[in-house]
Amino acid sequence: MSSYTEALISLSDVTYEIGIDACSDRSELRKEVEDLRKVIEGNGDPTHSVINRLASVEKAVDSVASNVQEIKDKLIGTLEKGGIIPDNEARFKRLEDLHNDIKKVVWYVVLAWLGIIINVIVGLL
């Protein structure tokens, strides 16, 4: 009978400790939630709330986006009006042609060196 009593006492002690730990955890969570609420809501001042700050950031981003679009329109142009930069398609075509010409020259140089090396090897034999 004493082992049952000891087991019940141990079980009640463990349950009590679990309850105390859970209560302290809940109180810590409650404090953290209150701190987060203060940060989100601005601690009583709505102008300092995260939501209000996010709205002001969104306005600033919209302003920057419109400025970037305006710069892009002035550089590239729109359907109604040409831009500062001349036709990009023609420029890209010229650059691609130049790139292809450079590749051809590189292959000519490589083949010439390869021919010289083969000629030297054949001359040594």
How do the domains of the chain map onto residue ranges?
1-41, 46-85, 87-125
| Per-residue model confidence (pLDDT) at position 88 | 67
**For residue 54, is pLDDT > 80?**
yes
pLDDT class for 26, splitting at 50, 70, 90?
very high
User: Is 15:24 a contact under the CB 8 Å cutoff?
Assistant: no
* The dihedral formed by the CA atoms of 21, 26, 29 and 30, expressed in degrees to the nearest 10: -140
In terms of DSSP H, where are the helices of 42-87? 50-76
**What are 82-121's pLDDT values in tens digits?**
666 666 677 788 889 999 999 999 999 999 999 999 988 8
| Average pLDDT, rounded, for the chain | 85
**For residue 1, is pLDDT > 60?**
no
Higher pLDDT, 1 or 101: 101
Higher pLDDT, 120 or 76: 120
Higher pLDDT, 25 or 2: 25
User: Is 103:111 a contact under the CB 8 Å cutoff?
Assistant: no
**For residue 42, is pLDDT > 90?**
no
